[in-house]
Structure 1
Amino acid sequence: MQKIFHKAMLVVAFILTGYTSSTFAQIVKWDSTHRPGKYKELVAKFKEEPKSKKDIVFLGNSITAGTDWAKLLNLPQARNRGISGDISFGVLERLQDVIDGKPAKIFILIGINDISRNIPDSVILRNYKTIISRIRKGSKKTQIYFNTLLPVNSAFDKFKNHYGKDEHILWLNDEIRQLAAKNVTIVDLYPIFTDENKHLKANLTKDGLHLIPAGYEVWAKFLQEAGYLK
């Protein structure tokens, strides 16, 4: 019933704002309630883990979940809060636990699964702003770092729902860069991982979406050289 109401409200929004038919097609075919299979289990696990105001939290989906940040960065206070398959609505649902810990820094990378599930760009951006607003309100001293989305590489032919949507990645990245005006530090990963054809560099991925250890080493080096971990 909630999903039907949600879609009905979006139809009204479509009529009132004059979206194009292609945008409308995207709007009516998405679900904010999707959660990965291990979502509840991992959320419960995260809640049980000790928290400190010195923590550096990495918050996101499988791309964040795919490495041991404490070991990679040689930072014992680094906490991995990535959940494979998560979307921005899932991050919002579990954000309070992160806020309650009052961490020193939060690095956020989320959105590629939203795109793959046809969640409208404007809704994803709204969720980004809500994430920032809630952190600001609940943990005023926490420094917020927002990562631009990584490109994908369709040559691997493994994640078809993520392919052919580069314009959404580019639009959201442009909007993420503008979040700097909200006193948010932008970690612009996109150009670092992009090849000459605007694809995720093949030597840094195992499947056109997720990174291999060499990819995380590139990421870590960028964070360290930019001074984001100080």
Structure 2
Amino acid sequence: MKPNFNKLLVALGLIFVIAFNEAGAQTVKWDSTYRPGKYVEQVAKFKADPIVKKSFIFLGNSITAGADWAKLLNLPNAKNRGISGDITFGVLERLEEVISRKPAKVFILIGINDISRNIPDEVILSNYKKMVSRIRAGSKKTMIYFYTLLPVNSSFE
């Protein structure tokens, strides 16, 4: 009877080790310090841009960066602050440059790269709240607009 008990203990031990490893493998890691390759260069370019009164600032990632908003909307005071590959942490890091300009309106589309980099939804939402709080505190008259993210999985088909 004792050899069967030992086999049972070994089997239970293996099950525990496998289950523990599987649980550990499912732990999602994410990095709040990630910045795209041209991030520093783009931020320096934005800072060098002259301040325009009553500007409309478009803030975000590649979806924002890919458009000439001033030309598209026939608004010479529209400023593009999109950086391809950026995440919400990157926007928070460079938000002071936007706030200091006291824009009339800020249009924000950011977060899709956060999702692809496994940043949890609650962290993304917390970063959105921080953006709103900081803009409201530093530029009280600025109107804030958020765009919704596009679906990224098959459940939306």
Aligned equivalent of 1:72 = 72
Partner amino acid, structure 2, of 1:63:
I
Note the C-alpha offset of 1:151. Answer: 2.8
Structure 1 unaligned runs (5+)?
1-20, 153-163, 168-197, 200-230
Structure 2 CA distance for aligned equivalents of residues 47 and 151 of structure 1: 33
Note the C-alpha offset of 1:51. Answer: 1.4
2:62 corresponds to 1:59: no
Deviations 1:191-230 (A, max 9, x none): xxxxxxx35xxxxxxxxxxxxxxxxxxxxxxxxxxxxxxx
2:27 corresponds to 1:25: yes
Structure 2 CA distance for aligned equivalents of residues 151 and 42 of structure 1: 28
Aligned equivalent of 1:136 = 136
Note the C-alpha offset of 1:25. Answer: 1.9
Structure 1 CA distance for aligned equivalents of residues 44 and 51 of structure 2: 14
Aligned equivalent of 1:148 = 148
Deviations 1:14-61 (A, max 9, x none): xxxxxxx69x723xx000000000000000000000112310000000
Q: Which has the higher contact order (CA 8 A, sep 6+)?
A: 2
Q: How does 1:184-195 map to 2 (within 5 A)?
A: none
Q: Which structure would you say has the larger Rg?
A: 2
Relative to the length of structure 1, the TM-score reads 0.56
Structure 2 unaligned runs (5+)?
1-22
Identity over aligned pairs, percent:
72
Please tell me the root mean square deviation across aligned C-alpha atoms, in Å: 1.7
Deviations 1:60-104 (A, max 9, x none): 000000110000001101100000000000000000000000000
Note the C-alpha offset of 1:124. Answer: 0.4
Relative to the length of structure 2, the TM-score reads 0.81
Deviations 1:176-195 (A, max 9, x none): xxxxxxxxxxxxxxxxxxxx
Structure 1 residue ranges, 4+ long, deviating more than 2 angstroms after superposition = none
Q: Is the 8 A contact 1:52 1:102 kept in 2?
A: no
Partner amino acid, structure 2, of 1:143:
M
Partner amino acid, structure 2, of 1:41:
E
Structure 2 CA distance for aligned equivalents of residues 95 and 50 of structure 1: 16
Structure 2 CA distance for aligned equivalents of residues 51 and 150 of structure 1: 32
